[in-house]
Each structure stands twice: as C-alpha cells, then as structure tokens.
Homo-oligomer: A and B are copies of this chain.
Amino acid sequence: MSPVKVFGHPMLTNVARVMLFLEEVGAEYELVPIDFVAGEHKRSQHVQLNPFAKMPGFQDGDLVLFESRAIAKYILRKYGGTAGLDLLGENSGIEELAVVDMWTEVEAQQYYPAISPVVFECIIIPFIIPGGGATPNRSVVDESLERLRGVLGIYEARLEKSSYLAGDSISFADLNHIPFTFYFMTTPYAKVFDEYPKVKAWWEMLMARPAVQRVCKHMPTEFKLGAQY
C-alpha cells in the first residue's frame, strides 16, 4: 500500500495537477475518491486534511498537505530524483531556478486569470447548475479572450527563443498550464491558440507526454449542461 494518498476527483484541475506530477515522476499513489457532488469535501474527515474544504487533500505517511502547487513541488523534491527530472530547476544555478519560478508565477498570476473565466463560463458554471440552461456570459468571455491573446502574444515571443517557457528543458512552469488549458481546448474558443504557432506547438508537445495523457484520460472532454459527472 502506497503511503501517498490523493483525496479528490481527477476531473478537478487541482487534483489533476497533483496527479500529473506524481505520474511524471512515476511515484506510486492511491487516489481516494471524494464525492464532491454529495459535499463530501466539506465533511470533517476531509476538512482535517484540507481546512479550506477544497480538493485535493494529500497525505504522505504522517505529512498532510493542501494547496496543489505546494504539493506538486513536494512530490518533485521527494520523488523527482529517481525520474532524472529537474522540473523545479533546483539542480541548476539560482538564476535558472529564478527563471522557472518566474514563469511559474506567470502561469498563476497572468495566464490563469486570463484563461479561467472562459472555462468557468463555458464548462464549470453550466456543469454545477443543476438542470442546465446557463449560457456563457458573452462579455466575460470576450474580455477574457482579449486578455488571453495578450498573454499568448508574450508566450509566442518567448517560445521563439526557447523550446519551453523557462528555457530549452521542460519545467514545472510549463506543466502547470495543463489542467486549465486542457479544458479550454474543449471550448469553442480553442482555435485562439492557432493564432500563435509557437504556443500551439508547445501545447502539443506537452500533451504528447505519456504522464499528461494518463492524467487527462480522467478529464471529460464533453459536458452536458447541468448534468453532473
């Protein structure tokens, strides 16, 4: 029995993020399903793992963690060595490490706020409203797409200089883009990426990774409005 347990549902982006790094490093883990439709994440057993009543919860022996980005870094530090990966850049110099940190923050602070409202409007809000009928707010979508184009333009310029965001090796920064971008690519606005050929090629390179494919197979690509999983 693996000491590593992930508590949550793999269709949730933050659960997918944690699973992705476990798969990348080839660590054994157990996925403990949490029925969030039934509100199981708000019950005391889960809140003991994650006081914010969010998913995932994470346990490795006696260590309990929450916040998917922090969990992911822990996984890379504890189990990443055997996979020969240096996704955090910690085996390089502090300047290389700073560049990985910088593009990791860009994902969190610039990319996520730009792309996520489209995913919320087109997928998450219709999904969580029982009975369906919710239609995306057009002005929210348009505003987000404009913002996203601004970010993708900066990515395009960056990816003209290096294969990945933080340089010519894949890093934590690139892989953090997977969960939300995966869902964005199921919306009618996926073609926005075609305007940025370097970004599109980078995305396809990320999606071709076996670990990414193993995680994404748990993430639905078709949603029935208001029909929960």
Contacts and interface: CB of A to CB of B under 8 A. Distances in A.
B154 A67 contact: no
Given A67-B105, A105-B67, A109-B67, A73 B52 contact: no
B52 A102 contact: no
A110 B14 CA distance: 14
Interface stretch (A4-12, A18-26, A90-98, A196-204): A90-98
Q: Which size class do A's interface residues fall under?
A: 20 to 34
A66 interface: yes
A contacts with B: majority SS? helix
Contacts of A78: 94
Contacts of A74: 94-95, 97-98, 101
Interface in A94-134: 94-95, 97-99, 101-102, 104-106, 108-110
A102 B65 contact: yes
B102 A66 contact: yes
A134 B196 CA distance: 39
Interface string A44-82: 000000011000000000010111111101100110000
A70 B172 CA distance: 13
A157 interface: yes
Nearest to A97: B77
A69 B157 contact: no
A63 B98 CA distance: 10
Given A65-B99, A74-B95, 15 more contacts: A52-B151, A65-B102, A66-B102, A67-B101, A67-B102, A67-B106, A69-B105, A70-B98, A70-B104, A71-B98, A71-B102, A73-B101, A74-B94, A74-B98, A77-B94
A98 B78 CA distance: 10
17 contacts: A51-B157, A52-B151, A52-B154, A63-B95, A65-B102, A66-B106, A67-B102, A67-B109, A68-B105, A70-B98, A70-B101, A70-B104, A71-B98, A73-B101, A74-B97, A74-B98, A78-B94
